[in-house]
Structure 1
Amino acid sequence: MFIGSVGAWLPKTTLDAMHMSWQAGFATLSLIYGIGAIFSLVMVLLGAGFAAQVFGDRVRSGGLITRGHGIRARQIRKTVANWKSDQVGWRMKEPLKKQAGSNHAGNGLRHAVVQQRHARWLSDRAITISAILLSTLCQTIAAAAAEPAQIVSTMRAGLQDWQPTLDAVGNLRAERGVNLAFEASGIVSKINFVSGQSVAAGDVLAQLRLNDEPGRLAQLKAQARFASVSLARDARLLQSKTTSNAVVDQDQSNLLALMGQIDAQQAMIAEKTLAAPFAGQLGIRQIDLGEFLTQGTFVVTLQSLDPIDVDFYIPQQQLRDLRVGMQAIVTVDGWGDRAFTGKLQAITPQVDQASRTVVVRAQIENHDHALIPGMFASVRVGIGVVQHHVTLPISAISATTYGSTVYVIRNTGKDRIAHQLLVTTGPERGDQVAILSGLSPGEEVVTAGQLKLHEGTPVVVNNAVQPDFAAHPQLPQE
C-alpha cells in the first residue's frame, strides 16, 4: 500500500534505483546468512571429526594394552601345542586357565580393532565433508567478492584521411550589390517592379513625376534645330562672300550652347528615373506610389547572387600557407551539412595593425541562390598533404598523470575484459581525435563508461547510444 502510494509521485528512474537498492540489500543479507550457516555446519563437523579422532586415539591406547595380553596368549598356545603329546596332569590345569584367559583377551582385542576402524572411518568422513564445505564456503565468498561487469559502449578504431586545414569564419557578400535611391526629390509616379523580382541591366524600376522638364527639353531641342539651320545657311553665304566669319562663329556658338542645355535637361529627367545598373535580384520595395521622396531616399536593394563572395580573416602567421586559387569549403548554419566549394580569389596585400590579420576573399558558385549576402560562414582551406590516422571520438580518451589512455576489450573465454593502453594523441577536428601511436586499427575501444573501469574489469557492451563522432559538427538550430 505504501509502495503504491509512493510510486504514484516518484519518477520511474527513482523507483528503479530504489528497487535495485532493495534487491542488492536482500542479496547481501542472504549471502551473510548463507555464509554463517555453512560456517556453523563446518564447525560442527570439524568438532565431530575431532571427537572421533580423540576416541580413536583412546581406542588405540587401549589396544596397546590389550596387545600385550595377545602376545602372552600366543606364547601359551605355542606351549600347549608342544605339550599335546605329554600327559595332561594337574600341572597343566593352571596353563589351561591362562589359555582361557588369553582367548578372552583375543576376543577383546578383536572388538577393539573393530572400534578403532569405525572411529577412523568417522574421522576420515568428517574431515572430507569439512573440506568440501570449506571449499564451497570459499567459492561462495569469492563469488560474492567478484567484481560485477560494467556496461560500456564501444566502437572499432579505423583509419581516416586527415587533410591539414586552415579554419576561419567570415561573411558572405554579393559580387555586386547596391541599395538603389533617387538622385532628386519628387513624387513617385511609376513603380515598375515587385519585391524579389529578378531584373536585367537597364530596366526602369521607378519614376518620379516630371513637371516642366519634358517641355523645357522639347523647347531646347527646337532651338537647337533652328541654330543648326542658321549655321548651315550662314556657312553657304560665307562661301559666296556675302557674310562674315563672325556670323558663322556666332551660329556655331549658339548651337553648342543649346546642345549643352539639352544634355543638362536630359540629366535632370534621368535623376527622376530609377533604372537597374546590373542584372540581379531585387529586395523588398520600400516606397509607395504617390509618396514624396527626398534626394537619396532608399528605394530597394539589388544583389547579384551568382557568383557570391565570402570575406574571412586569417592571422598573419598563416599567410604563408595560402595561395590564390586554392580550394575553399564553405558551410553556413542555415544549410546544415551542405558544403559549398569555391576558390581563393584575392588576398589583401596589407595586415591590419590593430588585429594583425589579413582579409582573404573566396568566390563561390551559387546557381540556386542558396547563399545570400550577410550570412555568417565557416571557411576551411585545405593545406599540406593528406595523412592517414587511427581516429577515435574525443570522449574515448582518458587523461591521466602519465599520459592519455584508452580501454580496449579483450575476450578471455566467456568473459570480456577491459585492458588499458597508453596512446599518443594528435590533432583534433570536431568530435574526432587522431591517434598517432599505441593503438592498432580494428581494436574495439570503449567510447563511453570508461570512468567505471580499471585494468581487468569485466564489461558488457551496449551500443544503443554512441557519442558524437562528426568531423565537422554543426551547432544545434534553435
Structure 2
Amino acid sequence: MLPPKYLALCLGALTLHGADLSVTRLQTGDITRSVQLLGEVRPYQQVALFAKVGGYVKTLQVDIGDRVEAGAVLAELEVPELLADEARTRAELVLAELEYQRLQDAYKQAPDLVPRQSVDAAQAKLAVAKAQQERNATLLGFAKIKAPFAGTISRRSVDKGAFVPAATGGGAGQAALFILTDAKTVRVQAALPEAEAGLATVGQAMTITTEAAGAKPFAAKLSRVTGVVDNPSKTMLIEAELANMDGALKPGMYANVKLGIETHRGTTLLPLTAIIMEKTVATAYVYEGGKARRRVLKAGFNDGVNLEVLDGVKPTEDILVVGTTALTDGQPVTLAK
C-alpha cells in the first residue's frame, strides 16, 4: 500500500488531469501601487459662535439638527445698556451736527468774529460723534447671532433667558452659544508615512470606505497635501474632498483610505488568478506539452487584480489560470475547450 503522502499526490494528479484549465498570456497595461491608510471624516467647515456683546437671550430661533442658511438669525440678545447708549450717541450726533452747522454759517457771514479754530473744533467733534454712533450701532447689531455660512446646528449651549457674557480672547474658557457645521461636502484626512510623502501629488486617485456608512466605496481625488512631515509622527497630512449631499459620511467617522501612490505605465501584467504565492515568492505555471511547468516570477506592483511581471515568463507562453487549484511541476493538465 502506498504511503498517504504519495497516495494524495496521485489522486490529486488524476483529478487535475481531468480538470479543464484556461490559459492567458502577459498583457501590456498600466498598474498602480496603492497604500492603505486610516483616515478621519471632517466637516468642510465648522465654527463655534460666541457673543460679541453681553446680554440675556431674548429669542432662540434654532435647535440641534436644524439646517440654516447663511445670514440666518440663530438667536437675539436683549442688551438694554447698548440701547441706552444708542439713544445717547444719536442725540450727541444731532447736537454736534447743529453746533458745527451753526459755527460754519457764522464763519461765512462774519469770518472776522468767528475764529477758524472754533469751526475746526466743531467739525472734529462731529466726526467723533459720528464714529461713536457708528460703533454703538455696530455693537447693537451683534445682539443678533447670525450664521456665517449655510450648515447644520450641531450644538446648542444656551436657553432662552440665560445671561451670555461677551466673549474675550476668542471665546477661550467660555462655552459657545452654537456650533455650526457644514457637512454637505466633507474632508477626509489621513497621515501619509514619510517614506511615501515624496510621491503624493494632488489629483491622485483615492478610494474611501467607512464601516459605519456601509461597504459602498467612495471615489475621490487627492485634493491637498501639506508638504510638511510632522516631526513626532513622521507623517504628512493629506486631504480629499467628497460631496456628501445624502449625509452618509458623518464628521468624526473613521475611514479606510486607499491612495494610488505610484503608477507604472506600459508594463507587462498577469492576472492574479494565474499567480500562486509561495510565502513571498510569486510563481506561475506555463502550459507545455500537456503539462504544467512551474516558473518563478520577478514581481513588481500588485494592485489586487493584476501583478506586474518583470521576468520569469515570455509573452508568447501560455500561462495556466489556476485559481485555487493546486498544481505541481510536471503535472498533466487539460485545457478548457
For normalisation by structure 2, the TM-score amounts to 0.71
Contact 1:200 1:280 in 2 (8 A): yes
Contact 2:274 2:284 in 1 (8 A): no
Matched, 1:423 2:296: yes
Contact 2:274 2:320 in 1 (8 A): no
Structure 2: which amino acid aligns with 1:423? V
Taking a change above 3 Å as real, the CA distance of residues 444 and 425 of structure 1, as seen in their structure-2 partners, is same
Matched, 1:327 2:207: no
Contact 1:312 1:361 in 2 (8 A): yes
Deviation at 1:173, TM superposition (A): 3.2
Tell me the equivalent position of 2:148. Answer: 277
5 Å-filtered alignment, 1:76-155, equals: 147=8, 149-150=11-12
Deviation at 1:182, TM superposition (A): 2.1
Matched, 1:187 2:56: yes
Tell me the equivalent position of 1:165. Answer: 33
Tell me the equivalent position of 1:397. Answer: 277
Structure 1: which amino acid aligns with 2:270? V
Deviation at 1:382, TM superposition (A): 5.1
The gaps in structure 2 that reach 5 residues or longer are 168-173
Tell me the equivalent position of 1:309. Answer: 187
Structure 1: which amino acid aligns with 2:56? I
Tell me the equivalent position of 1:215. Answer: 84
1:259 to 123, 130, 138: 130
Structure 2: which amino acid aligns with 1:398? E
Partner SS for 2:52: coil
Partner SS for 1:297: coil
Q: Which deviates more, 425-434 or 178-187?
A: 425-434
Matched, 1:229 2:102: no
Matched, 1:300 2:169: no
Tell me the equivalent position of 1:249. Answer: 120
Matched, 1:383 2:254: no
Contact 1:427 1:433 in 2 (8 A): no
Tell me the equivalent position of 1:342. Answer: 221
Taking a change above 3 Å as real, the CA distance of residues 279 and 179 of structure 1, as seen in their structure-2 partners, is same
Structure 1: which amino acid aligns with 2:32? P
Deviation at 1:205, TM superposition (A): 0.9
- Offset from partner CA, 1:446-471 (integer Å, 9 cap, x none): 516x4xx7567899xxxxxxxxxxxx
Deviation at 1:239, TM superposition (A): 0.6
Q: Which one has the largest radius of gyration?
A: 1
Taking a change above 3 Å as real, the CA distance of residues 254 and 332 of structure 1, as seen in their structure-2 partners, is same
Deviation at 1:388, TM superposition (A): 4.8
* Structure with greater strand share of residues: 2
Tell me the equivalent position of 1:352. Answer: 230
C-alpha RMSD of the superposition:
4.1
Tell me the equivalent position of 2:68. Answer: 199
In 2, Cα distance between the equivalents of 1:181 and 1:361?
A: 29
Taking a change above 3 Å as real, the CA distance of residues 258 and 155 of structure 1, as seen in their structure-2 partners, is farther
- Offset from partner CA, 1:340-386 (integer Å, 9 cap, x none): 223434x3343333333333344444454444433433141353334
Deviation at 1:177, TM superposition (A): 2.0
In 1, Cα distance between the equivalents of 2:136 and 2:62?
A: 26
The gaps in structure 1 that reach 5 residues or longer are 1-140, 460-478
In 1, Cα distance between the equivalents of 2:123 and 2:52?
A: 33
Partner SS for 1:397: strand
The number of residue pairs the alignment matches comes to 306
Structure 1: which amino acid aligns with 2:183? L
Contact 1:178 1:301 in 2 (8 A): yes
Structure 2: which amino acid aligns with 1:422? R
Taking a change above 3 Å as real, the CA distance of residues 188 and 210 of structure 1, as seen in their structure-2 partners, is same
Structure 2: which amino acid aligns with 1:233? R
Partner SS for 1:330: strand
Taking a change above 3 Å as real, the CA distance of residues 251 and 332 of structure 1, as seen in their structure-2 partners, is same
Structure 2: which amino acid aligns with 1:447? T
Contact 2:152 2:182 in 1 (8 A): yes
Contact 1:342 1:365 in 2 (8 A): no
In 2, Cα distance between the equivalents of 1:154 and 1:337?
A: 35
Structure 2: which amino acid aligns with 1:149? L
In 2, Cα distance between the equivalents of 1:293 and 1:388?
A: 69
Identity, in percent, stands at 22
For normalisation by structure 1, the TM-score amounts to 0.52
Deviation at 1:313, TM superposition (A): 3.2
In 2, Cα distance between the equivalents of 1:210 and 1:438?
A: 83
Structure 1: which amino acid aligns with 2:115? S
